[in-house]
A and B are shown apart, each in its own frame.
Chain A
Amino acid sequence: MPLLENGHPVEDTWRYAVEGEALGAGDVIVPFDRLSEGLGRAEGRLGVILPNSESVSVLKEALPKLAVIVVTFPIFRDGRAFSQARALREHLHFTGEVRASGHILPDQYEFLIRCGVNTVEVSGNTDMAAWERALHHFTIATQPSPVLDEKPTGFGLRRFLATP
């Protein structure tokens, strides 16, 4: 599944744990219910999938050992992961990779970034140009992002968006 960063495909060096198989060595993303198993490993970096029904506080203890947190969209209309991504940055001060996966539309890309997501897994048959365009549709936002330092435009709440 292609991974996007700043509107461009990047190499995904992570693999997802396979159900029923040992985690093995290397960089692996585990489901939430295998987090303790992942934390018990001696080698390799660790990522975790955060179900969108969980509070981010469930990752508090594990946080220093996590390099990737995947927030999930079972369907694009279920916006819980926006709040989770923002809370990971704002409340837990997580500085690693926050990755969005699931059913996501290019039209949500800017929102994801402004909530603190930095990579997005997109489906293989998606029109990459639509994602690229989505990142440049808007040069202005009308509210401060809780997680990004954007430049105010002069007065009010409006912000110039950073150009990737």
Chain B
Amino acid sequence: MSTETMTRAEAAPAVLPVGRYGYDQVDRTFLRERIEQFRDQVNRRIAGDLTEEEFKPLRLMNGLYLQLHAYMLRVAVPYGTLGSKQVRALARIAREFDKGYGHFTTRQNIQFNWIKLEDTVAALEVLAEADMHAIQTSGNCIRNITSDEFAGAAKDELLDPRVHAEILRQWSTLHPEFTFLPRKFKFAISGSPHDRVVARFHDIGLIARPGPHGRPVFEVFVGGGLGRTPLVGVSLRDDLPEEDLLAYMEAILRVYNAHGRRDNIYKARIKILVQALGTDEFRRQVEEEFAAMDRARYRIEPALVEAIKARFGAPDFAPEGNAAAVLAEDRRRDVRFDAWVRTNTHEHKAPGYISLVVSLKPAGGIPGDATAEQLDLLADLADEFSFGELRVTHLQNVVLGHVRQDQLHTVWQRLSQAGLGTANVNFITDIVACPGLDYCALANARSIPIAQKLSSRFADLELQREIGDLRINISGCINACGHHHAAHLGILGVDKRGQEAFQITLGGSGEEDASIGQILGPAMAEDETVDAVARLIDLYLVRRENGERFLDTYRRVGTAAFKDVVYAPA
């Protein structure tokens, strides 16, 4: 059946999942085939037909890493959107195949740290039953496409990016030409002028907006990234029409596939190629490839976009009624709830609705960790209050996108009872941290204990409110999975003569004012670092002017004063 002959009703089943693409039998068949392929690969490895060197990239492309103590399974969460049934499947994997936890990552995925190789196929089957997989969550291929956690809900949004994220997901899944690239390749896409996806720190970042004739156009950033060589991406073009989205992406990937360095893993990302060629020459090569393509073969017709959009369920918003008035009254009566609403919610485009952020950063907790019981509760709350849909944020929290304002107080109470009601989003204890040396084979230092110490040190919510917006990110090694370069206050774990030590960076931002944090000075021991952060905060509180964030004060005052207070305490 072609797109033309298939009616909308045939394409769309009666009940579609809200906020994400609804699988049909074709998609499910594809997943079954992928699992059978992996089963075959495992058997060939066991039989000795595949060497470990050959098997490794194949298992990686199914999300299976070998870490310090065990295998880790990273599950794909396309554009960060999950259904309640999927969250329950994740809870089941946490219970049956792990130690009762899942860990949400900065790539909007979830990973399990204690998976046995022999259980992997069974875990993939549990995922497949819930229309999920672990395809391309690792390996030198196009990774999970990340997006805005408030997509389709945010009041400031110009265009819901998830349909195009899904188009990119389908296009990149087992792409015949781009599955053995020089290095991993990361996309982010947003439809809001406020960059909540860190677009400028991705291999390709896309910012969508409505263009002429009502079809979207995209600004294309390329060559951004963190790690050893942190770079802000360059804008390749500002006006890419929707119909050419895939053609232009192919052109970029082809230039990268042909010319990206393969002799040195540390210089293999597209950011190095863009720097080596210069933006103008890189753009010229992309345009040359783009001009040579038979673009009709790649064109995304409006009918195709509409057909995919038709596979997305849309929330059926209730009329506003007196929801806003009820919320105002609830806030007036309960100061703790009021404080939480101020920090943990986001304005919704539909009257009477609001988006809420569930903080996975309780005082002294491990950033991004959720227990199987908490996952089940989140699924229940999504079903009861948010059209069965949840989102994962790149800051390792969870979002319920569409909650009626008059039900918010109930949801908060239920969250609080489960230890999920912390009112600290965007505050100093809303820390992002990679798994670090507790789990990761690459790390030089443990990220989790220092995150827990900082989180405990600043646990007082009144103090946190006083400090205001302050982004702390922690990475356990130079690969920067904790995105420390993009933090207002970044912490990088290093190995100092066999001891774990920590460097502080200041002044980074992952938003539209993207900047790379500067290293303040020599690394320090864990407790010294925590004390140094406290002194930095004290200095900020003294020096700030009329409502400045920490970042603003740092940018105005400059590095010297902050350096002095860290290395020459009074």
**Could you list which residues of chain A lie within 8 angstroms of chain B, going by C-beta atoms?**
55, 76-80, 82-83, 86-87, 90-91, 105, 107-108, 110-112, 114-115, 127, 130, 133, 137-146, 152-158
Contact = CB atoms under 8 A, between A and B. Distances in A.
A142 B11 contact: no
B441 interface: no
B6 A142 contact: no
Interface string B171-190: 11111111111000000000
Interface in B9-33: 10-11, 26-27, 29-30, 33
Nearest to A158: B26
Given A78-B262, A79-B179, A143-B170, A156 B29 contact: no
A143 B54 contact: no
A153 B254 CA distance: 26
B471 to A, nearest CB: 36
B6 to A, nearest CB: 5
Contacts of B179: 79, 82, 108, 111
A145 B250 CA distance: 12
Interface residues of B, number: 52
A133 B170 contact: no
A139 B10 CA distance: 21
Interface in B37-51: 37, 40-41, 44, 49-50
Contacts of A155: 3, 6, 11, 304, 307-308, 310-311
Given A78-B262, A83-B257, A127-B49, A142 B3 contact: no
B153 to A, nearest CB: 24
Given A137-B40, A157-B171, A111 B257 contact: no
What 9 pairs between A and B have smallest CB-CB spacing? A79-B180, A155-B307, A111-B176, A114-B176, A154-B1, A142-B170, A143-B171, A137-B37, A157-B170
Contacts of A142: 30, 170-171, 173-174
Given A83-B254, A144-B297, A111 B177 contact: yes
Given A82-B257, A137-B36, A143 B49 contact: no
A137 B40 CA distance: 10
A15 B476 CA distance: 54
B525 interface: no
A55 B170 CA distance: 28
A142 B26 CA distance: 10
Contacts of A141: 174, 176
Nearest to B140: A77
B177 A86 contact: yes
Nearest to A53: B258
B313 interface: no
Given A140-B30, A158-B27, 6 more contacts: A78-B262, A105-B54, A111-B179, A138-B30, A154-B6, A155-B3
B57 interface: yes
B2 A140 contact: no
B173 A108 contact: no
Nearest to B255: A83
Provide the main secondary structure of the chain A interface: loop
Contact of A79 (B173, B257, B293, B307): B257
Contacts of B178: 79, 82
A153 B26 contact: yes
Contacts, number: 129
Given A86-B177, A152-B2, A158 B54 contact: no
B294 interface: yes
14 contacts: A77-B140, A79-B177, A80-B258, A105-B58, A107-B58, A127-B49, A130-B40, A137-B36, A142-B170, A142-B171, A153-B26, A156-B308, A157-B167, A157-B170
A83 to B, nearest CB: 5
A103 B175 CA distance: 20
A108 B180 contact: yes
A139 B33 contact: yes
Contacts of A87: 254
B542 interface: no
A158 B246 CA distance: 14
Contact of A133 (B40, B297, B311): B40
B298 interface: yes
B570 interface: no
A140 B49 contact: no
A18 to B, nearest CB: 29
Contacts of B294: 90, 146
Interface in B358-394: none
Contact of A137 (B11, B33, B246): B33
Contacts of B176: 82, 86, 110-112, 114-115, 141, 145
B258 A153 contact: no
A152 B173 contact: no
Contacts of A127: 44, 49
A77 B180 contact: yes
A111 B181 CA distance: 13
Contact of A154 (B11, B172, B175, B177): B11
Given A144-B297, A152-B3, A76 B180 contact: yes
B292 interface: yes
Contacts of A154: 1-3, 6, 10-11, 26
B1 A79 contact: no
Contacts of B297: 144, 146
